[in-house]
Chains A and B, each alone.
Chain A
């Protein structure tokens, strides 16, 4: 068997170039009272996809702006209904929320279909074949169960969701395979909690030490309460800042390192520390520039996430053939996005 060279994904987008596209599209979206935003979204996806290359070929996005516009209108009406009606009548507001929650798995499934069906590489489309029943099991039942068990089942739920999305996805006629077990997910969250405990213990000991040597002005009988308070706030802040980039980086590594497309494997090597630096810098600069840094931030994060994934070919990657074409609506995708409910792919 011949050894094939690993192929890194490349990203060639630049902040300045994307800024110009972004601001023109934002402006047109406002002038057209939001109608153009569907076209802007297609542009945005096309910009990111076409700048992503693997083995010399770029990805592409084919979403139909008119389909996306329809989805946006439905999502906007639902969301506006929920926020406004909720103010007048909590019962009706909760009813709308319930409808949204019940519809969410179906919407997510449609969204995956739309997104993958409209993604291509080397002229072949991706596709998603997940069933509605499994969507309800993975996107509704499991999260509800994990909420009922106070999050104990959340890593398991996440593993099942990742498995559902991967194993039902195809490139051309080839299915993706997914091997990560729930144990690996639990390890990531245990590590997060472990870091939290370490931070808490460290802060608590240092405040106690400083207090007992009278380096900070605290009454002796309040020292314990004081150190618990400082340690709790410190831990909360540390986890708030650290946990998201840490979990995001580790999950992306875990998912890609356990994904196969036909015989080909993948490798992701993101580092939580670098991810933290990028995310923190992005939030800070976006705030300081009153939001104008956002396109640069998007590019920076995309570059980091894309360029740390590689394909490990086991054979020629020219041999993929087209699969059956399916059609799908955009309603799901837009709604999932509007409600800020996205699944990392």
Chain B
């Protein structure tokens, strides 16, 4: 059996029309002014790749291009073929690969990433976390955050209230709280990655009694206890990296939207756990769990009327702060307890 091919000697760009045939374990190449007889074992035959021409590469840089892929496969008994090349040619394997890819991505996103984030979060040294919080205040004080306008005594009362709380076993001290004012963020409290809790003036003013504030602080302590902010940040980094890598060459701007969407699921889960932690803590201290529901309702109402306008540049800086999705659902659950 003969096969027509084009041969290049690797020293000059001139094409040599040749014919190929196999004789035993040797390949015979014949053209007008060239004859080569080579051991098949000494040749490199790359696996087929789609409908690209088949190739035979000689050790000395010579190269044969064969357009007739069928004839090539028959003559060389599919030399160089690989399992992967077979899969790449089949729509069924493509479909299977697609389904497997999607399910693997789902597993990584739902279980792998949260697990890895928890493992890493538990191993980040405390001094690094504290430095992160300091850095956070350093970059946002004077821009998004203002000094607190609350009276000194008021702050002390709240801190005392927090200190007097009976903590669940395993928790040695209450969260460190920082008071700030912020017209942009309104009534809110945030658990930072390093374990500090940021309390905004408007929240304190919005509460009808100190028990409501303690309820919010208990909720934030739940976030601190489970390192939610840090885990969220780690997860967001990985999701963001993967997105940027994949969509990067389309437009980095477009990568932001899906990233934000992918992250909300985590925060919803975290809110539920922080609520559970707060409910337990409040019950242990004889404070009705409904206090948290009360203040949540007020917060929801305050945020709806104020329609918080977050400046665009602050969004990224704040993306690891706890957002509070599905408040209604949370209120219902807390009332049910």
Residues of A within 8 A of B (CB): 12-14, 17-21, 23-28, 30-31, 43, 46-47, 50-51, 56-58, 60, 79-80, 83-84, 87-90, 120-124, 172, 282-283, 286-287, 291-292, 294, 317-322, 338, 340
Contact = CB atoms under 8 A, between A and B. Distances in A.
Given A23-B98, A83-B241, A84-B237, A122 B13 contact: yes
A84 B55 CA distance: 45
B50 interface: yes
10 contacts: A31-B100, A57-B6, A58-B52, A88-B131, A88-B135, A123-B10, A123-B11, A291-B246, A292-B98, A322-B61
Interface stretch (B220-228, B249-257, B299-307, B323-331): B249-257
B128 A89 contact: yes
A124 B234 CA distance: 48
Residue from the set A27, A84, A172 with the largest chain B CB neighbour count within 10 Å: A27
Nearest to B236: A87
A12 B69 CA distance: 15
Contacts of A83: 237, 241
A291 B104 contact: no
Interface string B116-160: 000000001000110110010000000000000000000000000
A51 B94 contact: no
Given A26-B101, A87-B132, A123 B63 contact: yes
A19 B88 CA distance: 9
Contact of B13 (A14, A21, A90, A172): A172
A282 B254 CA distance: 13
B15 interface: yes
B248 A340 contact: yes
A56 B15 contact: yes
Interface of B: 6, 8-15, 46, 49-53, 55, 61-63, 65, 84, 87-91, 93-94, 97-98, 100-101, 104-105, 108, 124, 128-129, 131-132, 135, 233-234, 237, 241, 245-252, 254
Given A27-B101, A121-B13, A340-B252, 10 more contacts: A13-B50, A20-B93, A27-B100, A30-B108, A51-B51, A84-B234, A123-B61, A124-B8, A124-B12, A172-B13
Pairs of residues from A and B, 4 with the lowest C-beta to C-beta distance, nearest first: A123-B8, A50-B52, A27-B97, A318-B14
B246 to A, nearest CB: 6
Nearest to A172: B13
Nearest to A297: B250
Nearest to A287: B254
A124 B61 CA distance: 8
Contacts of A317: 13
